[in-house]
Amino acid sequence: MKEFDGLRLVGGHLALDLMNTVEYRGEPEPGDRLDSFERLARWSATAGLLSHDELRAVIAPGVARSPRAARALDSAIELREALYALMVAHIRKTPPPRGARRIVERQLRNASAASTLRYADGGPPFSWHIPIHNAEDVAVRLADSANNLLLSLGRVAVHQCSGPICDWLFVDRSHGHRRLWCQPAKCGNMVRVRRSRAR
């Protein structure tokens, strides 16, 4: 299983793993692993969004501390939080928040405008691709991943962890879609321990 800075990527989709870079959202001081552009870029490489060469290009000193990098981080965080609001509303079967929906729509349009049609021998010959020309393109690729997630919701089940202090999201591929926890060995075990102590 992929891991970034001790954080397991258990979402089952890159966009879910992006949302899961925040731990304990309900706490006064939630833990955010993406507190700089360089960490965003390194997480993106771990998650499979960037190649090694692309990572090396965007974390070069003149790039990682540029205004473009600052805008990319802001855009990625804005997308993450708006997308999380939409996904939680979807899971709870409530109307999506208008503000979050507008943010996601705007970023998806930007991703669509940045896409180029790529041809490759073997496999599907044509595919949409977002080249990495600068730091801001990292956030654009994240938006493209978000688009992929949203369009897949009719085919995949996304759940929120039932752990007592966890609010991560994950694709549920279990039979009958009855999986309760993002990490059974962690959150599931925590629930079992609490139940045992309560007896």
187: DSSP letter: I
Specify the range with the lowest mean pLDDT, choosing from 24-28, 85-89, 104-108. Answer: 24-28
* Banded pLDDT at 189 (limits 50, 70, 90): low
Per-residue pLDDT tens for 57-78?
999 999 989 999 999 999 999 9
CA 190 to chain centre: 24
152, 143, 66: which is closest to 130 by C-alpha? 143
Average pLDDT over the chain, rounded to an integer:
91
Residues 6+ apart with CB under 8 A from 20: 7, 9, 10, 11, 168, 169, 182
What's the CA gap between 138 and 95, in Å, rounded? Answer: 29
Domains of the chain: 3-156 (1.10.3300)
**pLDDT > 90? residue 1:** no
pLDDT of 198 higher than 60? no
Q: Which pLDDT does position 66 carry in this prediction?
A: 95
CA gap 115, 133 in Å, rounded: 12
pLDDT at residue number 46: 98
User: According to the model, what pLDDT value does residue 83 have?
Assistant: 98
Tell me the percentage of the chain whose pLDDT exceeds 90: 71
Bridge partner list, 160: 169
The pLDDT value recorded for residue 120 is 86
pLDDT in tens, 134-182: 999 999 999 999 999 999 998 999 999 988 788 999 999 988 888 888 8
Distance of CA 112 to the CA centre of its chain: 18
> Looking at residue 121, what is its pLDDT?
82
pLDDT at residue 179, rounded to an integer: 87
The Cα 143–Cα 80 span in angstroms is 9
Average pLDDT rounded to a whole number, residues 120-124: 82
Q: What is the mean pLDDT of residues 40-52?
A: 98
Instruction: Give pLDDT, residue 95.
Output: 97
pLDDT higher than threshold 70 for residue 29:
yes
Residue 184: pLDDT band with limits 50, 70, 90: confident
Q: What is the mean pLDDT of residues 104-122?
A: 94
Position 186 pLDDT exceeds 80:
no
